[in-house]
Structure 1
Amino acid sequence: MNTHAVRLESAGAVVSVVSAEQAVTDWSARYFGTWWKAAEADPASVSAGALVTAGVDNREYDDIALAVTRSPHTSTTYARARLLLAADASGGVIRAVSPEGALAYRSEPGVSRLDVVGCRTGDVATATARLAREMVRGLLLRDGWAVLHASAVVQDGRTVLTFGDKGAGKTTTALALASRHGAGLLANDRVFVRPGERGGVDVLPWPSAAAVGLGLLEALGWFETARERLEAGETLHPTQDERVTEALLAGDRTPLWERGKELKTQVFPDQFTGWFGVPLATEGEAAALVFPRIEAGAAPAVDETGRVLGGADFMSGETEDRYPDVFALLGADGGGTAAACENVARRLAELPHHSVVLGHDVAANADFLAKVTGLAT
């Protein structure tokens, strides 16, 4: 049986994904791509170091599921699905099963190894990438990195960080600067940060699919490209609601809403480059902070109310409720140690802060943002 492997690397944190199913390793290679320098590896060379193995095996899934349910176990929610957890009395091995997803897990935190077993290749591939990302996160957190809730773009090494709650304009700001002024997209929703050796703040990407509303997709000039790609048989990220796909294929730009939440396109990282011509950046140094506010009909302008970086702009174990550290992969708070966050916050406070009001004109927003942040070309 052939075995396939992909090596992920970011700032010295290295995790390998190994599977007999090439579709599983291909998924991780695509998902992390250039952001985490994903590359094929010799399976024989990855036995040492942090490792995620993945398999599609109904019998093995049944065996683990039975072992978990017959043992004392607890129930929690992980990745929006019910998860049953059973730990060995010694605390060395954690077993878990997600019945709805037909996924089983075996984690050995002491040796940085996690095994994923399931019944469906697509579900195994998605879960494997998710856990590989968590394992990289743990390595980075233990090395002094923290996690900010921010989007980021990079130009000539200078990184613009954009902060705000959902709907504030983090994605709008990042994609406007990337599409109109050639900045590299570093991250859509969160980033790793650590005090740099030269006194600044180093920034790394957090790979993830990006949610882009139909209105923003049209404003960026990307709607027709996405439609043509879908008509040619390509697909967006599988978490995308089917109604969004139908709207794209029908050419309907009208934003879709359900219970007050906008349904958006879910863009794979590599599609930013392959579909829309936006390069992905792999690192940078923080140069400016932006705090946007979107207001319909507004002309881009400085917001005199102002805002500064706060504790809520850092991720934490409490805010990472979708992916609690049930497999003991992190070895630190999900957003970084208190000392790491404090050091980063102190250095970021010394950088230019820009509170801005943005409208719905992407070109005007991009030109204004490029000027105030110093990224104008």
Structure 2
Amino acid sequence: MPLSATRIHTDTATVTVASQDRAVTDWSTRYFGPWWNATAAADPGPGALADDGGLVLADVDPERVDDVRALVTDYGHEEVTYANARTLVARHEGITYAVQPDERIGYQVTGRRLVIVGAEPEPVAVAAARLARELVRGQLLADGWTVLHASAATRNGRAVLTLGDKGAGKTTTGLLLALSGWGLLANDRIFVRPEADGHVRVLPWPSAAALGFGLLDAVGLYDRTRERVLDGGQLHPTQHPTVTQALMGGRREPLWRADGKERKPQFFPDQLSSWLGLTLSTEARAAGLLFPTMSPHMTPGLVENGRTLTAADVFDQKTEDRYPDIFGLTPTIATGSETLSEFLAQLPRRSLVLNHDTNASATVVTRTAEEILTAS
């Protein structure tokens, strides 16, 4: 059976995803798209699979899943949570074996060569894209990049970065700017690196975008999203089934879990443009920082709180909660956050408060971002 492949390249990082199932590689092409220059190659030759950066071989093979699980059991294992799934991990003679029993996915990792097997195409495709992204992250971190918990919007090659805790309004701020004609570079995480010329470069972190019902409705994107779903369009599979049911039923109010967290529609990166009409950016240099706070009972506007970049804004192996480095893909190096903080401290920064009056919040966000571009 012929192989298909997707080549992913951003800055100095290069990863290839290959499979005998075209649906697996098409998923990575779609997921990384223009953000990480993902290109497809049908039936690639041996040169296309050269392990010069990272290689993910992913196939549907239920019997091999059982084989991997047997190895994990034989070698002894630890149990961890990876990508919100129970994962059993064993290491033997330089090879890492792992299995996610509920998802029926097995992994075998040697250096930067990853083999993924599963019982169904979609879980295999999701896992392959996730591990390809981890390979890219490892290469970028080794080259001096840092991952920040931030969204970023761009204009004319310059980016305004929005930082804050969960629920602070990072995604809302990025979305409001994107709806005002800015480019959306990332909605939750970004790569940043100080350069010798004094600028801070910014690269995207491709990921599904979680946008709540209330936010979609407030910015006028709910109806077009529901129309796409009613026409058979599929949102990202990490989305809970009750979200699709609620969309089809016309629900506009937030959908809450028992633990108080909101269940939200999860958009593929390409759906941000094809469904929502947003423009995606692929790279920029940082022009300034925004630090929003969501406060329903306050009037949107600027506030003085002295907020700056903190250690909590930086993702490392101590703060990474969804994707712990169980496969040893992240280099053991200093994050360089002190140098990064020095560079970012020289940029204009503003703290602001937003509320659920979307028009008023959008006015404050766009005006403040434009002032930052003028001041930088």
- TM-score bracket, normalised by the shorter chain, equals over 0.9
Corresponding residue number in structure 2 for 1:67: 71
**What amino acid is the match of 1:144?**
G
Residue 102 of structure 1 is matched in structure 2 by: 104
Question: Which secondary structure does the structure 1 equivalent of 2:279 belong to?
Answer: coil
Which consecutive residues of structure 2, in runs of 5 or more, have no partner in the other structure? none
Amino acid across the alignment from 1:70: D
What's the counterpart of residue 95 of structure 2?
93
In the TM superposition, 1:42-81 aligns within 5 A as 43-44=44-45, 45-49=48-52, 50-81=54-85
1:321 Cα deviation from its structure 2 partner: 2.5
- Contact 1:160–1:289 under 8 Å retained in 2: yes
Does 2:363 align with 1:367? yes
Q: CA deviation at 1:118?
A: 0.9
User: What is the CA–CA distance in structure 1 between the aligned matches of 2:140 and 2:305, rounded to whole Å?
Assistant: 35
In 2, Cα distance between the equivalents of 1:257 and 1:82? 23
How far does residue 364 in structure 1 lie from its aligned partner after superposition?
Answer: 2.5
Question: Aligned partners of 2:339 and 2:81: how far apart in 1?
Answer: 33
Q: CA deviation at 1:324?
A: 1.2
Q: Give the SS at the match of 1:292.
A: strand
Structure 1, gaps ≥5 residues long? none
Contact 1:176 1:363 in 2 (8 A): no
| Offset at residue 140 of structure 1 (A) | 0.3
Does residue 1:268 correspond to 2:273, yes or no?
A: no
Separation (CA, whole Å) in 2 of partners of 1:292 and 1:369: 9
Distance 1:254 1:74 in 2: 41
Deviation at 1:316, TM superposition (A): 1.2
* In 2: Cα distance, 1:244 partner to 1:78 partner: 23
Deviations 1:63-94 (Å, cap 9, x if unpaired)? 221122112322222112222222123xx211
Cα drift, residue 11 of structure 1 = 0.7
After TM superposition, what 4+ stretches of structure 1 lie above 6 angstroms from structure 2? none
What CA distance in whole angstroms lies between the structure 2 residues aligned with 1:178 and 1:2?
A: 41
The amino acid across from 1:107 in the alignment is: V
CA deviations on 1:289-329 (whole Å, 9 max, x unpaired) are 11111121533211123311111111110111321111111
Give me the whole-angstrom Cα distance separating, in 2, the residues matched to 1:363 and 1:257.
25
Superposition pairs of residues 325-344 of structure 1, within 5 angstroms: 325-332=325-332, 337-338=334-335, 340-344=336-340
Distance between the aligned counterparts of 1:131 and 1:96, measured in 2? 13
**Structure-1 residue corresponding to 2:253:** 254
Look up the match of 1:317: 317
Whether 1:173 and 2:161 are equivalent positions in the alignment is no
- For residue 331 of structure 1, give the secondary structure of its aligned residue in structure 2: coil
Pair 1:122 & 2:125 matched: no
1:1-377 matches, cutoff 5 A: 1-41=1-41, 43-44=44-45, 45-49=48-52, 50-89=54-93, 92-109=94-111, 112-179=112-179, 181-258=180-257, 259-332=259-332, 337-338=334-335, 340-374=336-370
Aligned to 1:269, the other structure's residue is in SS state coil
TM-score, normalised to structure 2's length? 0.94
Normalised by the length of structure 1, the TM-score is 0.94
The CA distance in 1 between the partners of 2:231 and 2:322, in whole Å, is 34
Aligned residue for 2:280, secondary structure, equals coil
Give the AA of the match of 1:13.
A
Measure, in 2, the Cα distance between the counterparts of 1:192 and 1:139: 12
